[in-house]
Structure 1
Amino acid sequence: MNKLKNELKAYQNEANIWMVSGGITNSAGNLALHLIGNLNHYIGAEMGNSGYQRDRDSEFTIKNVPRDEILKMIEDTRHIITKALLEFPEDWFSRRYPLEEFGYPMTYEYFMVHLVSHINYHLGQINYHRRLLST
């Protein structure tokens, strides 16, 4: 989550967070909202029983949220997922994750590795987006 905050802070022009260009169809702002929703849903709600209700479509349709507001959302999400992970019984990681997001059963551990990969994929997109727009 700190890396996501740092990527957004690295945009010299805040408006560029919401820009799309050429074949880039997702802005850094929308990717950040997507990661916030994703982690709140899969870790906060599914593992931590936070009660979070995800609206995945809005993660990609909402525009022009101020950077400071997104940074606060990231920090709030960091607290929620930290709480969920600290309270989650370690011996449950080998248990079956309740959702079959890929059409087959998997363990919590397997799904957590997927989430880390998913985060890093979008962090790379955001980093590339920023560097592309700053040239």
Structure 2
Amino acid sequence: MIIESLRSLYSRDLNKLKTEIESYQNENSIWKTDKNIANSAGNLCLHLVGNLNNYIGAELGKTGYIRNRELEFSLKDISRAELIEKVTATIAMVDNALNKLTSEDLEKEYPLVVFGDTMTTGYFLIHLITHLDYHLGQINYHRRLLDF
């Protein structure tokens, strides 16, 4: 049951990420920063895609994804269409990886030590969705503040 709940929540929130990127009236605003807003919505989107492809795709789904976290924050002016394609591919990857997990897998130790300590896979998957939602809220606020 928890796996189905996780699949549903990741799908819901990654689709909301797509909606946020699609909702920018001015595509250039996706890449704006201003005053104390250091990360653009585009970079936060790339960061979320990289994060999930690394921690769920590469580690749990064995996709072979290799993360370049620095590029998540340094790349600029990627088209809205390409960002949406990346999110769409991430939705499919997350669903596929989670669909292969069992309840027993959630109780196992996550394969990487993150934050300097071990944790269960289930715990880390919950952490990852809260990370997604944290940045999703930032993107929503970014759009409402800087989309002009």
Alignment of 1:48-127 (within 5 A): 48-127=61-140
Number of residue-to-residue matches in the alignment: 135
Higher RCO (C-alpha 8 Å, min separation 6): 2
For residues 16-35 of structure 1, what are the structure 2 equivalents within 5 Å? Answer: 16-35=29-48
Residue matched to 1:129: 142
Q: Percent identity?
A: 50
Contact preservation (8 Å) 2:31, 2:40 = yes
Runs of 4+ with >2 A deviation: none
Tell me, yes or no, if the aligned pair for 1:39 and 1:81 is still in contact at 8 Å. yes
Q: Which residue of 2 aligns with 1:43?
A: 56
Deviates more, 1:95-104 or 1:12-21: 95-104
* TM-score normalized by the length of structure 2: 0.89
Per-residue CA distance 1:69-122 (angstroms, 9 max, x = gap):
110111011111111110122211011001111111100011011101100000
Q: Helix, strand or coil for the counterpart of 2:60?
A: coil
Residue 128 of structure 2 aligns to a residue whose secondary structure is helix
5+ unaligned residues in a row in structure 1: which ranges? none
* SS in structure 1 of the partner of residue 93 of structure 2: helix
Shift of 1:134: 3.7
Gaps in structure 2 of 5+ consecutive residues:
1-13
